[in-house]
Amino acid sequence: MKTQIKFSNRTLTIDLSKPIDIAISLSGDEANPLAWYLSAPKITPVKEGDWIAKVSEGASVNFNSIWFNPHAHGTHTECYGHISKEFYNVNNALNKYFFTAKLISVAPEKKGDDFVISKQQLKTLFSPGSCEALIIRTLPNLKSKKQKNYNHSNWPYLTESAATYIREAGVEHLLIDLPSVDKEKDDGLLKAHRAFWNYPKAPRKHATITELIYVPNKVTDGDYLLNLQIAPFKNDASPSKPILYKTLAK
């Protein structure tokens, strides 16, 4: 199932039969990443009196209700409406779903009590104009990320200058395997979010940030085609399913 796709003056060859799913599935228990001090998501059958909407309990169908928060419980994509006074729907931020992408791996640097991803690190790993989407895999890349409780963990984050570099490099879609591109407790400054979206000066309404992804170690750094799909929630953020396809030729 190989196909060729033309992007400007580039021709990409990809194999559609070999998708790489970098989303973390959401389950109704604590086998999820958890952030922002919320309890685990819930997936439970509807109950009316003695009737339980579960086939194993005698119902004709399984009919579950789901409680979750997209920012706290798994892979999600957000738009500048996440930090703006005015409402903006993430569905309006995406009007196409395939992008040239680059995957890079970064070991955050120690800075005081924090670990950060700096502009200087990023400059050595990708150059301006090289991709529409940037995927950042932080090191060490442990499988425990898929079920990690990030609450009060002071996770690594992007410096403001790093986020500015990403924006100025022409990246429209930023993906990272952390709960946020910003410091967990930063007094609401959200410097990296603001720098990437250029908010409030001139908001990049089409740009998105996808957080809490997981890229397996067997997936090598390099060029990919990204298919970024979101659920149709009218919200600043939505659960999402980013899929990568390895670029076979240019």
Nearest of 123, 96, 130, 105 to residue 223 by alpha carbon? 130
Looking at residue 210, its pLDDT comes to 98
Looking at residue 81, its pLDDT comes to 98
| Among 1-10, 49-58, 149-158, 201-210, the least confident range | 1-10
- The alpha carbon of 105 is separated from its chain's Cα centroid by a whole number of angstroms, namely 15
Say if residues 157 and 118 touch (Cβ distance below 8 Å): no
Q: Is the dihedral of CA 178, 183, 188, 193 positive or negative?
A: negative
Looking at residue 9, its pLDDT comes to 79
What is the residue whose two structure tokens read 């194999």?
15
Instruction: Give 134-143 pLDDT, tens digit per residue.
Output: 999 999 999 9
As a whole number of angstroms, the distance between CA 213 and CA 74 comes to: 8
Statement: residue 249 has pLDDT above 80: no
What is the residue whose two structure tokens read 């009919």?
63
Say if residues 6 and 225 touch (Cβ distance below 8 Å): no
Q: Which residue has the higher pLDDT, 248 or 196?
A: 196
Mean pLDDT across the chain: 96
Looking at residue 6, its pLDDT comes to 85
Query: Where does the pLDDT of residue 41 fall: very low under 50, low under 70, confident under 90, or very high at 90 and above?
Result: very high
Nearest of 38, 76, 26 to residue 233 by alpha carbon? 76
Provide the token pair at 65.
Answer: 């209700």
Statement: residue 198 has pLDDT above 90: yes
Statement: residue 8 has pLDDT above 80: no
Looking at residue 250, its pLDDT comes to 53
Instruction: Give 49-97 pLDDT, tens digit per residue.
Output: 999 999 999 999 999 999 999 999 999 999 999 999 999 999 999 999 9
Residue-wise burial string across 145-170, b where 16 or more C-beta atoms lie within 10 A, e elsewhere: bbebebeeeebbbbbbebbbbbbebe
Identify the three-state secondary structure at position 122.
Answer: helix
Q: Is 27 exposed, middle or buried (0-12, 13-18, 19+ CB in 10 A)?
A: middle
Which H/E stretch holds residue 116? strand 114-117
As a whole number of angstroms, the distance between CA 144 and CA 233 comes to: 28
**Cα three-residue angle 126-129-133, rounded to 5 degrees:** 70
Count of CB atoms within 10 A of residue 248's CB?
Answer: 13
- The alpha carbon of 9 is separated from its chain's Cα centroid by a whole number of angstroms, namely 28
Instruction: Give 199-215 pLDDT, tens digit per residue.
Output: 999 999 999 999 999 99
As a whole number of angstroms, the distance between CA 18 and CA 222 comes to: 16
